[in-house]
Structure 1
Amino acid sequence: MSIKRSILSVPLRISTMAMVFFLVLGAQAFGANPDVSDSEEAIAAGKSIFNANCKTCHKLDQKYTGPALRGVTDRRSIDWAKSFIRNSGALIASGDAQANAIYKEYNNLAMPSHEFLSDTDLDNLLSYIEYGDKEAAVADGGDGSGAASAGGGSGVPSEYLTIILAVLVVVLLLILIVLGLIISVLTKYLNSQKLDEEDQEFINQKFNFSKVLKSDAFVIIVTALVVALVAKTAIDGLYSVGIQQGYAPKQPIAFSHQLHAGQYEIECQYCHTGVELGKSANIPSANICMNCHTHIQNVGGKDGISPEIQKIYNAVDNNQPIEWVRIHNLPDLAYFNHAQHVAVGGIECQTCHGPIEEMEVVYQHSSLTMGWCIDCHRQTDINAAGNEYYDKLVQLHSDSKNALKVKDIGGLECAKCHY
């Protein structure tokens, strides 16, 4: 019976060693590229470039409007990363498979070109991406004190979890193949030895597939895989509850922000009259549209008026409101005031709504989750210069050597947004 015990112990030992080896390799795979500088000067310079050009759409350790950036020089070559940052559109047009995969994954939304960045700028930017703010990411769970969980993304991107599960399955299959080869070699060796009848019978027993399916080890492996897949699906589902990022409903009139805000440079405040005055930005009435379209009539439709503009005329003639479909929705339990952010805080519309002047069809650019708002309050500096609203607050914080941020004036208090 000693032979039987030794053979059965082989799978456990080899499986354990293989899994440890796999986890070690996996941990090394996510390490930063040694070719990227980790000097404090490079990281500081890179952070300034990141905040000025990348912060709106990217986070280091969390999938956001764009992919999580940390580790990009391990996933891609440094030259490829620089080419993509400089002009992603050109790289996509060239047929690059990786660039096109990212382009499709993010709803065909191309990243603006940054050809004005020098090689030194790009080196510093990559240094910050790989080495910057790691302590804060670890301390705050990747997005600051619960911001990762509330912000609609986990510490490990969803696609990584899928890849890890797939690789685990492949590794398990390879382990089974290796075990089969080992058992075959051991069987041949033991058959060449003089063994008693009981051991001989055990060694030469035929493979019983049904017995394997009923074995405890097989049941445990299959159960573990099923539980892991179900848990991953459930977690992904929980993180996406209430998040409508990318939502772009069809509107009753094909209004183009790219044409109005982009080409004709009409200020957002002209149509959204309440944005500097109160809680809501206001959806423009048909009368506001007619301020311009009484004089501007695109040729091509009935009476020389385009079909879309004719819908505005119909709404005015029939005294009926245009039933625009709301795109950006916050839960009733959350309070948001546009005037506080735009008039007092001086926040640009694009900070929350993205490149609205480039959108033919408007979509929800940001996640608008609690974690996303909290992260903004932690990082946004208060612009108090010449702003009387902040005079007393500046006096109270005059001894502070650091820049005054929203979090320092109650921006993280629950009652600020939840009454």
Structure 2
Amino acid sequence: MSIGRSVLRLRYTLAVVCGLLLASTTVFGQGDGIPTDEASISAGMELFDGNCSSCHQVHEKGVGPALKNVYDRRDVKWLTKFIKHPGKTIESGDAYATALYDKFKPTIMPNQDLSDEEILQVLAYVKDVTVKGPAKQATAAADASGTEGAAAPQGMVVSSNLLVGVIIGLLVLLGIVLIVLVVLANVLTQYLRQQKGLDEEDETYINAKFSFASIFKSQVFIGMSSFVFIMIVAKVTIDSLFAVGVQQGYAPDQPIQFSHKLHAGYYEIDCKYCHTGVEKSKNANIPSANICMNCHNSIRQNSPEIQKIYSAIENDEPIQWVRVHNLPDLAYFNHSQHVKVGGVECQTCHGEIEKMEVVQQHSLLTMGWCIDCHRKTDVNAKGNAYYDKMVEMHDATSKEPMKVKDIGGLECAKCHY
């Protein structure tokens, strides 16, 4: 009997301990199985941006319902099943899934090709944003993006705040110098007035009254003011002339919100897959809608942006993309010559395109910019018999690597003819 009671007590103790463990994991955010570590949240943010953000937001309703506290409304097992196969879940007669469809029909979420672990990571991100709230979510998103899409172009744009600060600083410094000079002049005048034996001319100078009007009317002030004015006008005119045709930082709105950060960055799709002419043509060419359909005939079909592609195909109309990089007609540029022969990476001219949510013109694309590149860039002669004789002749007279400028890269007719 005592043994039986001991067994019962042991079982009771184990049950209590298990209950306490379950309660403790629930309190610390692990009872629902959703991870809370930063790595999972960061991975979940990438997955959410790539698969969910076009239809869902956490705190606001979009094409689909807001996802705030979704893990409290349904358990993880149900959410996993619904995210993977929403259509089958609705067809099974599930009351909650059917109610969602009735509310948002005819839109239905496409099947998501995500593993159980990836779904948990998405839920980890949703839970983190839910806890932080809308304001902190916006701040976190800005920090995560690093303001890459709106980064100021290098070497062209000067911060207006910095410029204003410099001007204000100079004015303050000039005011201090002026005050010091006035004080010194007063001290010296007072000192001279106490001296005896001054001649008439010195007396006249010391007793003369100071007048600002006389300064503005003086020939020296008028001459210096005119010179400064002419220099400012000349500087503004020259800068304006040099800026004609320079579109660095240009980032137009496109008819479809295509994200290079998502496609080229997160999914690592090669630029040449979409821009098929880059190795064999003068132009890199804009991808046709058929290339988009290689993936989107089965991926995110119900996305409003993807529907624009379907509409263009059905109506047999081209998508009116806005050109970002555009050289004047007087300049010749060949993509295949640079990419295929020269081995130049896309990022050399276009910047870190894989980090741009909205594409912008990264480089100046001026003649001076091109010439500077030709002066500094080594010729990609390795394994190319076309350059063997040129390299041999160059090495006979120079110890420096052969640059583009050494093979005619600075000749006018190379780009203008």
In which range does the TM-score fall when normalised by the shorter chain?
0.5 to 0.7
Q: Is the 8 A contact 2:278 2:284 kept in 1?
A: yes
- In the other structure, the counterpart of 1:223 is 226
- In the other structure, the counterpart of 2:305 is 308
Question: What does the per-residue CA deviation read over 1:141-179, in whole Å, with 9 as the maximum and x for residues that have no partner?
Answer: xxxxxxxxxx979xx999999888777655554443333
- In the other structure, the counterpart of 2:299 is 296
- In the other structure, the counterpart of 1:345 is 342
**In the alignment, does 2:180 pair up with 1:183?**
no
Q: Is the 8 A contact 2:327 2:365 kept in 1?
A: yes
List aligned pairs for 1:136-147, cutoff 5 A: none
Distance 1:246 1:198, change over 3 A: closer
- In the other structure, the counterpart of 2:405 is 407
1:263 alignment partner, one of 254, 261, 266: 266
- In the other structure, the counterpart of 2:277 is 274
Tell me which amino acid in the other structure corresponds to 2:317.
Answer: Q
Deviation at 1:268, TM superposition (A): 1.0
Distance 1:390 1:105, change over 3 A: closer
Question: What does the per-residue CA deviation read over 1:218-246, in whole Å, with 9 as the maximum and x for residues that have no partner?
Answer: 32343344334333333332332221111
C-alpha separation between the residues in 2 aligned to 1:394 and 1:227?
Answer: 51
Distance 1:343 1:176, change over 3 A: same
C-alpha separation between the residues in 2 aligned to 1:412 and 1:157?
Answer: 33
Deviation at 1:331, TM superposition (A): 1.3
Q: Is the 8 A contact 2:374 2:403 kept in 1?
A: yes
Q: Taking every aligned residue pair, what percent have the same amino acid on both sides?
A: 62
The residue matched to 2:347 in structure 1 has which SS?
Answer: helix
The residue matched to 2:396 in structure 1 has which SS?
Answer: coil
Tell me which amino acid in the other structure corresponds to 2:409.
Answer: G
- In the other structure, the counterpart of 2:111 is none
C-alpha separation between the residues in 2 aligned to 1:308 and 1:157?
Answer: 35
Distance 1:185 1:276, change over 3 A: same
Deviation at 1:321, TM superposition (A): 0.4
Question: What does the per-residue CA deviation read over 1:107-151, in whole Å, with 9 as the maximum and x for residues that have no partner?
Answer: 54699xxxxxxxxxxxxxxxxxxxxxxxxxxxxxxxxxxxxxxx9
Larger deviation: 272-281 or 182-191? 182-191
Larger deviation: 307-316 or 408-417? 408-417
Tell me which amino acid in the other structure corresponds to 1:417.
Answer: C
Structure 2 spans left out of the alignment, 5+ residues: 1-142
C-alpha separation between the residues in 2 aligned to 1:107 and 1:232?
Answer: 28
C-alpha separation between the residues in 1 aligned to 2:388 and 2:264?
Answer: 34
Larger Rg: 2
**In the alignment, does 2:311 pair up with 1:322?**
no
- In the other structure, the counterpart of 2:288 is 285
- In the other structure, the counterpart of 2:328 is 331
List aligned pairs for 1:11-410, cutoff 5 A: 107-108=150-151, 172-192=174-194, 193-195=196-198, 200-298=203-301, 305-397=302-394, 399-400=396-397, 401-410=399-408
C-alpha separation between the residues in 1 aligned to 2:325 and 2:394?
Answer: 35
Q: Is the 8 A contact 1:152 1:243 kept in 2?
A: no
Tell me which amino acid in the other structure corresponds to 2:222.
Answer: V
User: Which TM-score applies when normalising by structure 2?
Assistant: 0.57
Deviation at 1:306, TM superposition (A): 0.8
Q: Is the 8 A contact 1:152 1:239 kept in 2?
A: no
Tell me which amino acid in the other structure corresponds to 2:304.
Answer: P
Distance 1:386 1:315, change over 3 A: same
Q: Is the 8 A contact 1:258 1:360 kept in 2?
A: yes
Distance 1:195 1:418, change over 3 A: same
Deviation at 1:180, TM superposition (A): 2.1
Distance 1:370 1:354, change over 3 A: same
Q: Is the 8 A contact 1:344 1:389 kept in 2?
A: no
Deviation at 1:339, TM superposition (A): 0.6
The residue matched to 2:291 in structure 1 has which SS?
Answer: helix
User: Which TM-score applies when normalising by structure 1?
Assistant: 0.57
Deviation at 1:324, TM superposition (A): 0.4
Tell me which amino acid in the other structure corresponds to 1:352.
Answer: C
C-alpha separation between the residues in 1 aligned to 2:161 and 2:409?
Answer: 33
C-alpha separation between the residues in 2 aligned to 1:315 and 1:415?
Answer: 41
Q: How many residues align?
A: 271
C-alpha separation between the residues in 2 aligned to 1:359 and 1:228?
Answer: 39
C-alpha separation between the residues in 2 aligned to 1:258 and 1:104?
Answer: 12
Tell me which amino acid in the other structure corresponds to 2:339.
Answer: V
Distance 1:358 1:203, change over 3 A: same
C-alpha separation between the residues in 2 aligned to 1:162 and 1:407?
Answer: 40
Q: Is the 8 A contact 2:260 2:355 kept in 1?
A: yes
C-alpha separation between the residues in 1 aligned to 2:381 and 2:190?
Answer: 83
C-alpha separation between the residues in 2 aligned to 1:110 and 1:245?
Answer: 6
Distance 1:108 1:398, change over 3 A: closer
Tell me which amino acid in the other structure corresponds to 1:267.
Answer: D
User: Aligned-pair RMSD on alpha carbons?
Assistant: 3.5
Tell me which amino acid in the other structure corresponds to 1:321.
Answer: P
Q: Is the 8 A contact 2:153 2:363 kept in 1?
A: no
C-alpha separation between the residues in 2 aligned to 1:395 and 1:266?
Answer: 39
Structure 1 spans left out of the alignment, 5+ residues: 1-99, 112-150, 299-304
